Chain A
Amino acid sequence: MPHRAFFAFLMPSLLAMVLFILLPLISVGYQSLFSPPRDIEVLSEICSTNFLTGVRSCEQTVTIEKVEGPKIFRGLDFFCGRSVLACGELATGWSENKGGTGEYWSKVVLNLPLYKAMAFTMFYTLITTPFIIVLGLVVALVVDNLWRPLRGPTIFASLLPFIVTPLVGSLVLFWMTDNTGGLLYALTNTLAFWVDDFSLRASPQATWSVIAVYGIWHVTPFAFVVFYAGLQTVSQDQLEAAMIDGAPRFDRLRYVILPHLMPLITFVLLIHIMDAFRVLEPIFGFQAAANAQSVSYLIYEHLVLQADKRYGSAAATSVLTIVMVFILLLPVLIRTWRDFRVAAR
């Protein structure tokens, strides 16, 4: 297809992407740099009466008078605030002679909300991705070699974890980690019999692992179904030729099937890295906020948990999320671009 025709076909969706993706992104970027003028705070006194003792108690409260006016440029205020990159806290910690030491990382950097969240988010993304690709491939190969009448039901059963709503799926697993009779809890405590009664919810290590297991369980079917579709298009001629040449099963997998699936592996990688970086639902499902907070959870905290919304911090965190996703995707994108140039030649 000539490039012109290609773009003509693409135009409607490009337009939709500009409207629904690009413009909101620009708006978020704008909100991370500007804030409305500061409201005027007025002191007043508020009173209620104890229904039983009849004692009236009053306290001072602040009400806010909205100030109308153009937005104020805040520069990097929001980005450098403690809730986001915490420039000031990092610098102070460094100058207090903790610079460069392990203590600096554990006591200063990882004590700040964004870096704590970043650590968990990176862990989740980097741990789940390889498992999902490999397990997805294994399941796809197994199903592909199954006796035909069994395939349909097996595919359906294997897809279930992906169909279940993330919140419900994580809640089911959360209950299984209950230490008064949960299945997963009992199982891990039986397997690790030399450890005395360890909880799957009480420590960051355990919580992180359980959420990663949930992530792998939830997304593997997606990789499986994509790879399974790819396996149906492997050229039978090539496979037969390889067999005639005497290639054993493993070599056929390595030199014929995997190269054929490579574009799909890239696709699954791209989608999953983007998805994994904005992990949110399991934090609620697993009641995990004490031990694991993701970057998306921080945005939620700024926007919803706070009585008055912190749009600035939320917008700055969102911008950083976009930047981080882009950095993580860079190797995959470069590779895709190279392949495209080779193919175009």
Chain B
Amino acid sequence: MKKIRIALVATSAALFSASYASACAVDGAGLSILSAAFPAVEALQDESAACGAATERDQEHKDKINAALAANPSAYNAVLGANSTFTAANSEGLVAVITDVPGVADLPTSMKVEQDGEVVAIAVGANAQHLMVRADVLEATGMDMPSTYEEVLALADAAKAAGLMEYPLTGTYAAGWNLGEEFVNMWQATGEPMFVNGTEANIQNDAGIATLNMMKELTSRMNPDFLTFNSDAVQAQFEQGTAGIANLWGSRAQKVIDGGAALGVEVVMGSAPTMGGGSTPASTLWWDGYFFAANQSEEDLARAVALAIDSADADMLAKGDNMSLFVWMMDAYEATPAAAGVFATAGNGVPAYPMYSHMGKMHTALGAELTEFLSGQESAEQALADVVAAYNAALAE
């Protein structure tokens, strides 16, 4: 692995440093950045690689961030992660404070993530799950774009009755992380706090039951295999035309639009719905962005920050179709049609995904313990009790 990395550094240095050196305000030689591997972050990584930095792109990057940053000096200078991975690294004290690093003060406010008044991360893009509905589903049923989950249920029933598809509704309900995220999203619509007195779980109540019941209502209208559906599967169902309604990630919107176009249908993007008469969309706002290893020299930190800011600039946005890959937070960003859903959801005041250090434990417990309720083997009360028991066990360890 190390050899491969050295080889990558060597190639990228040889390929790019000569030809692109003039375009680089920052020399990235000797710096390394870890990231996921979806198109938007790869566009940023390409920019950094062109300036001589080593870039590692790995969809399973979250599993190695903490171990890599705990080394001294850290195995990477920067991580291009998201609020979840940031929280996990930050709670272990592995993230550097960058308030006084040159260039940070000039960033737009929405790009600065702060802890106790100090800047600790640079957000570059926003993501949220939001409603995507095929236009022909709306036309055939004569219904408007739903704004509440109750309307989503009615639309799904009408679409089925109209004979459009057997299971018009779908969603990312795969057991594990996806399922946990669906609960966290739906919970936001209740407006209740998920924790009280610091870390005490607050889900064994009416709001918890209402959340679960709505999830059950939705899944009972989905293909019975819903507990295996991750984002890839949901996107594939749109592309195959076997489903036409879903609350899916904004970062998938362009693909879903393209998939619809291939079938000759338009896909409408809208805000995540509300539930039970509330006004908060049942979704969470995520940011993707850079955070930096605490275990590195001040010079390296300054260079890594400068390189990150230089990579996420207007030049990057102007290249190819980079503008449409993400909902970027840079001032130079101009929204594309694929971004409409994230914009609508953010405009409706969707809360940020909770950045508590104990949130990860709750998320894991939800993803593991809700499956029996959704497959009809357990009551909602029992499922919530199991979640809290699993969460408390993780907390005690």
Q: Report the minimal beta-carbon distance from A85 to chain B, rounded to whole angstroms.
A: 12
Contacting residue for B225 out of A59, A202, A312, CB 8 A: A202
A180–B346 CB distance below 8 A = no
B381-396 vs A, CB cutoff 8 Å, 1 = contact: the mask equals 0100010011011101
A307 touches B109 (CB 8 A): no
CB distance from A66 to the nearest CB of B (A): 7
CB distance B364 to A64 under 8 Å? no
Contact A202 B389 (CB under 8 A): no
The answer to whether A287 touches B174 (Cβ under 8 A) is yes
Q: Which residues of B contact A51 (CB under 8 A)?
A: 110, 123, 126, 327, 329, 346
B375 touches A291 (CB 8 A): yes
Shortest CB distance B64–A (Å) = 10
Please name all residues of chain A whose beta carbon is closer than 8 Å to the beta carbon of B315 when the two chains form the complex: none
**Closest CB of chain B to A26's CB: distance in Å?**
22
- CB-contacts of A41-91 with B (<8 A): 43-57, 59-66, 78, 81-83, 89
Please tell me the size bucket of the interface on A.
Answer: 35 or more
Query: Which residues of A sit under 8 angstroms from B386, Cβ to Cβ?
Result: 111
- Per-residue interface assignment for chain B, residues 200 to 231, with 1 indicating a CB less than 8 Å from any chain A CB and 0 otherwise: 00000000000000000000000111011010
**Shortest Cβ distance from residue A180 to the other chain B in the assembled complex, whole angstroms:** 5
Nearest B-chain residue to A44, judged by Cβ: B116
Q: Is A327 an interface residue (CB 8 A)?
A: no
Q: Flag the segment in B6-14, B139-147, B349-357 that touches A.
A: B349-357
Closest chain-A Cβ to B269's Cβ sits at a distance in Å of 15
- Chain B residues contacting A18 (CB-CB under 8 Å) are none
Residues of A within 8 A of B355 (CB): 46, 48, 59, 61
- Judge whether B175 and A47 touch: CB under 8 Å: no
- Say yes or no: is B93 at the interface (Cβ < 8 Å to chain A): yes
**Residues of the B chain whose Cβ atoms lie less than 8 Å from the Cβ of A301:** 364, 368
- Decide yes or no whether B22 CB sits under 8 A from chain A: no
B357 to chain A: closest residue by CB = A62
- For A66, list chain B residues within 8 Å (CB): 92-93
Q: How far is the CA of A290 from the CA of B374 in the complex (A)?
A: 10
B57 in the interface (beta carbon within 8 A): no
> Which residues 287-336 in A have Cβ within 8 Å of B in the complex?
287-291, 301, 304-308, 310, 312-313
Verify B225–A89 contact, CB threshold 8 A: no
Measured in the bound complex, the distance between the Cα atoms of B130 and A81 in whole Å is 38
Q: Is B360 part of the contact surface with A, judged by Cβ < 8 Å?
A: yes
Residue of A nearest to B87 (CB): A61
**In the complex, A78→B397 CA distance in Å?**
8
A238 within 8 A of B: no
Asked if B90 is at the interface of the complex by the 8 Å CB criterion, the answer is yes
Binding site for A on B (CB under 8 A): 63, 66, 83-84, 87-88, 90-93, 109-110, 112-116, 120, 123, 126, 174-177, 179, 198-199, 223-225, 227-228, 230, 240, 242, 285, 287, 327, 329, 343, 346-347, 349, 351-352, 354-358, 360-361, 363-364, 367-368, 371-372, 375, 378, 382, 386, 389-390, 392-394, 396-397
Question: CA A56 – CA B364 in complex, angstroms?
Answer: 27
Q: A60 touching B93 by the CB < 8 A rule?
A: no
Residues in chain A near residue B90, CB distance under 8 A: 46, 61, 63
**Nearest chain-B residue to A292 (Cβ)?**
B175
Which residues in A have their C-beta under 8 angstroms from that of B109? Answer: 49, 54, 56
Please determine whether B347 and A52 come into contact, CB atoms closer than 8 angstroms: yes
Residues in A lying within 8 Å of B, measured CB to CB = 35, 43-57, 59-66, 78, 81-83, 89, 111, 113, 178-180, 199, 201-204, 286-291, 301, 304-308, 310, 312-313
Which residues of A sit under 8 angstroms from B285, Cβ to Cβ?
50
The answer for the CA separation of A208 and B329 in the assembled complex, in Å, is 46
Residue of B nearest to A49 (CB): B110
Query: Is the CB–CB distance between B364 and A307 below 8 Å?
Result: yes
Q: Would A50 and B110 count as touching, CB distance under 8 A?
A: yes
Q: For B224, give its contact among A53, A60, A202, A287 (CB under 8 Å).
A: A202
Instruction: Establish whether residues B357 and A61, one from each chain, have CB atoms under 8 Å apart when the complex forms.
Output: yes
> How many residue-residue contacts, CB under 8 A, span A and B?
169
Q: Which 5 A-B pairs have the closest CB atoms?
A: A307-B360, A290-B175, A287-B228, A290-B227, A82-B393
B394, A306: Cβ atoms closer than 8 Å: yes
Q: Which chain B positions have C-beta within 8 A of A57?
A: 351-352
B375→A201 contact, CB < 8 A: no
The CA of A46 and the CA of B123, in the complex, are separated in Å by: 14
Pairwise interchain contact B356-A306, C-beta atoms closer than 8 A: no
Find out whether the CB atom of A82 lies under 8 angstroms from the CB atom of B242.
Answer: no
Q: Which of B63, B355, B386 has the most CB atoms of chain A within a 10 A radius of its CB?
A: B355
Query: Can you show 8 pairs from A to B with CB atoms below 8 A apart?
Result: A49-B110, A54-B109, A57-B352, A60-B356, A63-B357, A201-B225, A202-B375, A313-B397
Q: Would you call B116 and A82 a contact (CB within 8 A)?
A: no
Whether A83 contacts B287 in the complex (CB less than 8 A), given A46-B115, A179-B225, comes out as no
Contacts of B371 in A (CB 8 A): 289-291
- Alpha-carbon distance A48/B90, docked complex (angstroms): 14
Report chain A residues within 8 Å CB of B113. Answer: 46-48
User: A201 — which chain B residues lie within 8 A by C-beta?
Assistant: 224-225, 227-228
Task: Give the chain A neighbours of B116 by CB distance below 8 A.
Answer: 44-46
Nearest-Cβ distance from residue B89 to partner chain A, whole angstroms: 10
A73–B116 Cα distance when bound, in Å, is: 36
Chain B residues closer than 8 Å to A45, beta-carbon distance? 115-116
Contact in complex: B390, A307 (CB < 8 Å): no
Question: B271: shortest Cβ distance to chain A, in Å?
Answer: 12
Cβ of A202 and Cβ of B394 under 8 Å apart?
Answer: no
A83 touches B175 (CB 8 A): no
Cβ-defined partner of A65 (8 Å) among B93, B225, B346, B356: B93
Q: Which residues of B contact A52 (CB under 8 A)?
A: 343, 346-347
Check A83 against B390 for contact (C-beta < 8 Å): yes
- Choose one: A54, A59, A305; the contact of B177 (CB below 8 Å): A305
Q: How far is the CA of A178 from the CA of B225 in the complex (A)?
A: 8
Please give, as numbers and ranges, the residues of chain B lying within 8 Å of A288 by CB-CB distance.
Answer: 228
Identify 4 new A-B residue pairs, CB closer than 8 A, beyond the known A52-B347, A83-B390. Answer: A59-B354, A64-B93, A202-B225, A307-B84
A81 touches B175 (CB 8 A): no
Chain A's closest residue to B328 (CB) is A51
